[in-house]
Structure 1
Amino acid sequence: MLEKLETIKNRWEEIAEQMSDPAAMADMKRFVKLNKDYKELEPVVKAYKEYKNLLGNIQNAKEILANEKDPEFREMAKEELEELQPKLKEMEEEIRLLLIPKDPEDSKNAVMEIRAGTGGDEASIFAGDLFRMYQKYCESRGWKVDVVEMNEGTAGGFKAIVFNVIGEGAYGTLKFESGVHRVQRVPKTETQGRIHTSAASVVVLPEADEFDVELNEKDIRKDTYCSSGPGGQSVNTTYSAIRLTHIPTGIVVTCQDEKSQIKNLAKAMKVLRTRLYEREYNKYLEEMSSKRKTMVSTGDRSAKIRTYNWPQGRVTDHRIGLTLYNLQSIIDGDIQELIDKLQMAENAERLKEEFE
């Protein structure tokens, strides 16, 4: 482990040198990459220094026990050793987790899409419940939720909604939410009190930045139109809404959330970049999903990942066999325990891969 940590420290110092090179500063794409690598390695280097210091203290205590005749000194060294040995095990476990190769996308903002599935109006209402759940969770983390596109359901909720989540590590936290979410409850539209099962699909993608995807303006057709609200009611009379069509792939993105055409265009471009980036990123996700059950839903979006059962007040995550009986607080945005357990399961699997 020490040899591996020493190599990482040398690499970190090498990156620091490269970042101070005027040639690296002139190449913005390279500088951004170096800065990102530097920040990612920093916690490992800090842990390495603490670990090395701890090993040194343990070695000193052992030498005192081996060579010192004074009983008082020996007793002090023995007490110190008893205190330091458990810390060593804890630190080694922490370092093992730090040494797991990170998904380079984890630190990015996220683009989320929720679509009503089977279940008609009830599926749209449930899609609305999921959106509010994520919105409240993001608020609790201090992240910004920025709606890009929405198609409201006839009885409430959404047939589809696309939104950006802007915050450090948003994608790495929310990526486990991709997949099919099922709801079992008596719909508001049900007159005989029967329990129905409906579904909504969630897709979570890392927001692609300008360095991830190169867009040629000639490949994009831009259309403008008047924003409209529910029932076709005109929201404004200016042509502020934007529709972008990527001609080579046929991908279409619309945005009418902002009153400014410039702001709508910026939002739509972000989503278009992400949709194009998704094509390449999916290959990586498929590879990961074959290895890890926690990520299966991200690679296979038809996978049923979670059930929200109203009569029993329970939420079950099928990937890790976890059932929690606090449905109302979860639907009110308290999903941290679910995310923590999924991250722990993924870390365990990644540790197994790394150290087998």
Structure 2
Amino acid sequence: MFDKLEDLLVRYDELMKELQDPDVASDQNRFKKLMKEQSDLTPIVEAYKEYRNAKQNIEDSLTMLDEETDEEMKEMAKEELAESKKRVEEIEQQLKVLLLPKDPNDEKNVIVEIRAGAGGDEAALFAAEIYRMYAHYAERMHWKVEMMSVNENGIGGFKECAFMISGAGAYSRLKYESGVHRVQRVPETESGGRIHTSTVTVAIMPEAEDVDVEIDQNDIRIDVFRSSGNGGQSVNTTDSAVRLTHMPSGIVISCQDEKSQLKNKDKAMKLLRAKLYELELEKKQSEEAAYRKNQIGTGDRSEKIRTYNFPQGRVTDHRIKLTLHRLENILNGDLDEIIDSLVTADQTAKLANMNED
């Protein structure tokens, strides 16, 4: 590990010199690439420099203990030694985490797809609440939310919806949300006051660029049709809705939220690209099944990951056995405690895997 850190330190110094070169500054693509590399290395280099300082402090304290005769100074040296040893252990752990292989998708925007599962209208109402939870979280993170497609049930619920969240590190924070979200509560439609259990499926997909997945236009059938639902302003009076069918995979995407057929087609293509990219990732991940067996990572969408229990005001994440009695806050987008715990659990599992190897 320390040989690698020394190499990274050398590379960091090289980068700093390159970035000051006027020829590099005039080449925007190269400059951006080097800036990204420098930004990625900075936290590792800073932690390693602090580690080296703490190691030096240990040596200085030991020397002082050997040479010093004044008892008060010796006591100070002992305190400094204990503090530096503790700090060295902390930074070693921090460096191990920083050196874990990065998920190449972490900095990407995400496309979130929410579908009502078991529970009829109650599941659709909860799907709309889950959408609002992520929209509020995005707002807290200063990310942008753009609805791509939505199929409403007429009483304020979503049978399904897809939306994009754009912002730095969106995928790194939200990738743990894929899976089945379960709600337990008395539905408004229930006269007997019995608690019902309903489910919603969430899929988190990194936004895919053209370079991530190539789509042959000959593989796509495009149909245009008249939008349905709450339209007005010509949304449901012209053939602006678009349906894409990707023949090789059988994936069908419909978008009808925009008045413009071109905009609906653009959104549908983004969604199709993300779904095809996700299929590629799933295939790759299944090949790495042994490596992923202990990981939290991106959950299987059939896995029950979380329960929102209204009578008890609690939210439980089943993967890490975390229960929080702050249901209302969480549904209002206060997700950091859950996500931070998932990130920590995932890093711990990866470190354990590396130690096994």
User: Any idea what SS the aligned residue of 2:8 has?
Assistant: helix
Q: Does 1:279 align with 2:279?
A: yes
Identity between Structure 1 and Structure 2 (%): 53
Contact 2:133 2:333 in 1 (8 A): yes
- Aligned counterpart, 1:144: 144
Task: Work out the CA distance in 2 between the residues paired with 1:112 and 1:33.
Answer: 28
TM-score by length of 2: 0.85
Read off the aligned partner of 1:183 and give its amino acid letter. V
| Aligned counterparts of 1:126 and 1:76: Cα–Cα separation in 2 | 60
**1:280 Cα deviation from its structure 2 partner:** 0.9
Match of 2:182 in 1: 182
Structure 1: state its 5+ residue gaps: none
Cα distance in structure 2, aligned partners of 1:214 and 1:17: 37
Distance 1:284 1:27 in 2: 33
What letter is aligned with 1:117? G
Name the CA distance, whole Å, in 2 between partners of 1:290 and 1:76: 47
Q: How does 1:122-201 map to 2 (within 5 A)?
A: 122-201=122-201
Find the residue that maps to 1:230 and give its secondary structure. Answer: coil
**How far has the Cα of 1:138 moved from its partner?**
1.1
Superposed displacement of residue 63, structure 1: 2.7
Structure 2 residue matching 1:197: 3-state secondary structure: strand
What amino acid is the match of 2:104?
P
How far 1:344 moved relative to its partner? 1.5
What is residue 293 of structure 2 aligned with on the other side? 291
Structure-1 separation of matches of 2:233 and 2:126: 25
CA displacement 1:69-98 (0-9 Å, x = unmatched): 676765654443344222222222211221
Q: Contact 1:127 / 1:158 at 8 angstroms: preserved in 2? A: yes
**Alignment check: 8 A CA contact 1:224 1:239 kept:** yes
The structural deviation recorded for 1:128 is: 0.7
Give the deviation of 1:139 after TM superposition.
0.8
Residue type matched to 2:294 in 1? R
Equivalent residue for 1:40? 40
Report the Cα distance in structure 2 between the residues aligned to 1:134 and 1:193, rounded to whole angstroms. Answer: 29
What is the DSSP-based 3-state SS (H/G/I as helix, E as strand, rest coil) of the residue aligned with 1:189?
A: coil
> Do the aligned residues in 1 keep the contact of 2:242 with 2:268 (CA within 8 Å)?
yes
Q: Which runs of 5+ in 2 are unaligned?
A: none
1:44 maps to a residue whose letter is: I
For 1:9 and 1:200, the matched residues in 2 are separated by: 47
Instruction: Report what 2:326 is aligned to.
Output: 326
TM, length-normalised to structure 1? 0.86
The change in CA–CA distance for 1:52 and 1:196 in structure 2 (over 3 A counts) is: same
Shift of 1:34: 6.3
- Deviation by residue 1:272-293 (Cα, 9 ceiling, x = unmatched): 2211111111124443684225
Distance 2:69 2:316 in 1: 61
**Alignment correspondent of 2:311:** 311
CA distance 1:238–1:34, shift in 2 (3 Å) = farther
The structure-2 alpha-carbon separation of the partners of 1:319 and 1:79, relative to structure 1 and needing over 3 Å to count, comes to: closer
Contact 1:68/1:74, CA 8 A, preserved across alignment: yes
Question: Given that residues 54 and 85 in structure 2 are in contact (C-alpha distance below 8 angstroms), is that contact kept between their aligned partners in structure 1?
Answer: no
Which deviates more from structure 2 when the two are superposed, residues 47-56 or residues 344-353?
A: 47-56
- SS of structure 2 residue aligned to 1:338: helix
Name 2:202's counterpart in structure 1.
202
Q: Deviations over 1:234-286 (max 9, x none)?
A: 53645544333334434333333334444434333322221111111112444
Structure-2 separation of matches of 1:252 and 1:15: 46
How many residues were matched structurally? Answer: 352
- Do the aligned residues in 2 keep the contact of 1:310 with 1:327 (CA within 8 Å)? yes
Deviation at 1:124, TM superposition (A): 0.6
Aligned residue in 2 for 1:110: 110
Deviation at 1:14, TM superposition (A): 6.5
The residue type equivalent to 2:337 in the other structure is: E
Point out the more displaced range, 3-12 or 109-118.
3-12
Q: Residue 50 of structure 1 aligns to which amino acid in structure 2?
A: E
